[in-house]
Each structure stands twice: as C-alpha cells, then as structure tokens.
Amino acid sequence: CVKRLAALPVPASWQCEYVLAETLFAQMLALPAPPARVIFYAAVLADLCRLRTAQETPMLPKMAPALAATVGALFRRVGGMDVEARSRMAEWLALHLSNFSFHWPWDRWAHAAALPETAPARLFIQECLHRMVRLSYWERIEQSLPEALKPLLPAKPEARSRYAADIAEARDIPGTEVAFAQELMGRIKSKQSVRQLEEYVEEAAGSMEDPLAGARVVATVVLILCSKSLTHLVTLLERFKRVIMKVAVSQREQEEVVQCAADIWASAPQHLAITVERLLSHKVVENVAIVDWAFAHWDKTLHGRLPSSATSVHRMCVWEVLNLVVGKTAARAADLDGNLAAAEA
C-alpha cells in the first residue's frame, strides 16, 4: 500500500505529499466512522515518513514536513472539530509519535497549558499525552515534554483502594465499611469458597446502614485484587463475579460497582475501560447501568463536583467507556439479528 502511494503517476511539479496527507486524514476523521481503524492510518503515515531516499520515494521527498504542516493546520482548527474526530486525532498522534521516539515540536503548543481546562486545544493535548503514556510509561513521556506542558500529563497510574488507611481517614469513611472490607479481604486470602463468601457478604451487606455499601465494599475489594495485572483481572473476576453479583442486583447497585472501578483507577483511566469491559462481558453489570453512570459522572465534571485537576481526564475516560459500551451493545444486537434471520430462513 505504501509503495503504491509513493509511486503514484502524477506530475513531478505536484506536491503529492500534501494531497496524500489531506486524503488520509480526511478518511481517518470521517464521521460517523472511518473506513479503517486509526492504527491503519498511523501505520501508513509512519511508513510514508520512513521512506526517505529519492530512489524509494521519487514523488515524496517532503512527506514528514507535509504531515507536520497538516497536523498543525488541524490543531489550529481543533476548536471546531467534533469530539469523536478530536479523539481519533489524539489517538493517531500518540501512535505516530510512538514510532519516532515521541519526538515532536511540543514548544509550538506550549501556550495550550495556559488555556481554560475546557479549551479544545488543551483537551486534545491532554488526551494525546494520556494515550502516549499507555503506549510507553509515564517517566518516558515526562522526559520528552517541555516544562510548560508537564502539568497536562496524567497522574502516575496506580490502583488505590478507598479503604486504604490514608484515603479512608481523609474521606471520613465509616468504620463499619472499612471493617467489612478488611474482613472480606482476609476471607478471600484465606481461600474461603465462593459459596462461603456469598453467604458472608449477603449477611454483612444487610447489616449496613447505607443500602449501597455492600456493593461498594465487595466491588472495591475484588477489583483491587484484580488490579495487579490483566491476567489477575481475567482470572479473579471470573472466580469472584458471583460474589459481586450477590450484592449488585439493582441498577443503582451496579452503577456503584462501576463507580468503584472509576475510584480505583482514577489515575489510570485506560484500566477503567478494560475493567468495565470485563464487568460487562461477565454480566456483572448491565449496559444500561454503565450508560447511566457515565452520564451521572459527566454531570459531576460539568458542575465541579470532581477535583478540577481530574476533570478533563475523567471526561475523556467517560467518553471512552460510553463508546465501548455502545459498540459492544450494537455488535451484540447485530449478532442477535443475524441469528434470528438465520433461524427464520
């Protein structure tokens, strides 16, 4: 594909690089969905930039400058860009920079750090940095940035339990909840059976004053155990999903489970998306509960009920979770329609 693009039969006087860049970006940012995944366009554009010699690219001697100019033009117009297109653009730039040691003229965008938190240019850079951290590690990305943009980096990713001593004290969490969490963690570590755990959490949750406390405690304890790695998430959630489902029957309780995942991964939203996907796949929570949580969470960010430093990152996270749930639900509906059509044929 790249070699064919590089050998297009056009006059030598044409600036083919700019036409290619504009065409590829037009496809990638098309709404509602591009013809191919963002990673495809990232691979094509990266390979076009790597072809440097005149023998390899007789028509593309200036692909990298043309690409940089196109990105600059799009960045200047990011304020009028659709949210979905802006998110794709950030995803592409992070993927592209991961192929080139994350080198980029960030100083040209340093002014965005002084913009309001809801400014599209600032949000775009934050989402791009967030995705770059996913593709590498926090310290590596921090070293590649000028001082002016370092405040836009997401916090170092780590899982934190609301029942950790320092957090529980700071949030003034009831002692009964903390004791419930500690007891449940001890029972899990002592390898009690799932049936025994179900009986315990049902009894303990029934004695709590807050009707959502049971779902909150059980979800937090299980998801903290799942947070060590993707393997832990897959295996432990499969093992203990029934324990969570015992106390997360209603939609409101399921929303609380999702909120627990968001609290645990407040500094690493990519892990939240993965965790929510597994909760949905295991039918621990329903898609409607996730959507209701997302809109309620979005409302909190809009009305300042989340820390201002976390607001923009949480908005990006909520958008990603919504996309995930809607996409999986649509795919499931399409599968069911196909099965129904096959059965009726």
Q: Quickly name the fold that domain 2-152 has.
A: 1.25.40
Identical fold for domains 2-152 and 165-336, yes or no, is: yes
The residues, any chain, with a CB within 8 Å of residue 288's CB and separated by 6 or more, are: 251
Bigger pLDDT: 297 vs 67: 67
For 90, the token pair is 């950030």
pLDDT digits (tens, 9 = 90+) for 173-202: 888 999 999 999 999 999 999 999 999 999
* Class at the top of the CATH hierarchy for domain 165-336: mainly alpha
pLDDT digits (tens, 9 = 90+) for 72-128: 999 999 999 998 999 999 999 999 999 999 999 999 999 999 999 889 999 999 999
| Domain assignments of the chain as residue spans, ordered by start | 2-152, 165-336
Dump the DSSP string for 266-293: TT-HHHHHHHHHHHHHTTSS-HHHHHHH
pLDDT digits (tens, 9 = 90+) for 204-245: 998 888 999 999 999 999 999 999 888 999 999 999 999 999
For 235, the token pair is 């295996």
pLDDT at 53: 44
Rounded to whole angstroms, how far apart are CA atoms 133 and 126? 11
Rounded to whole angstroms, how far apart are CA atoms 330 and 38? 20
Q: Is the dihedral of CA 165, 167, 173, 177 positive or negative?
A: negative
